Amino acid sequence: MIHIKITPDQAKIIDSEIGILAIYKDKDLNTYILDGKCTHKGCVLHWNNAERIWECPCHGSIFDYKGNVIRTPTINKLENTGNDNF
């Protein structure tokens, strides 16, 4: 289990023992824990807090906080690694 403090409506990239994770906690305290590497070529994602999306700095793929693809070139959603309370 990972113990990380994330305040509501915030996100973090975590380099953990199980890999790089992209974690977002919404205003209702639901936590979304995704693979933090882009499904196109594996670059580490960046969080855009204004739009609440994960952006890839390499080729421009964009994912929503649930990991769904918003913009290509990737076609695969981010893997959901679990759901937990932080």
Which C-beta is closer to ligand FES: that of 25 or that of 37?
A: 37
Which C-beta is closer to ligand FES: that of 14 or that of 58?
A: 58
Q: Is 59 in the site for ligand FES (CB under 6 A)?
A: yes
User: Which residues from 37-56 bind ligand FES, rule CB under 6 A?
Assistant: 38, 40-43, 56
End-to-end CA distance of the chain: 10
Structure tokens at 53: 């999306």
Contact 71, 60 (CB under 8 A): yes
Contact 77, 68 (CB under 8 A): yes
Contact footprint for ligand FES (CB under 6 A): 38, 40-43, 56, 58-61, 73-74
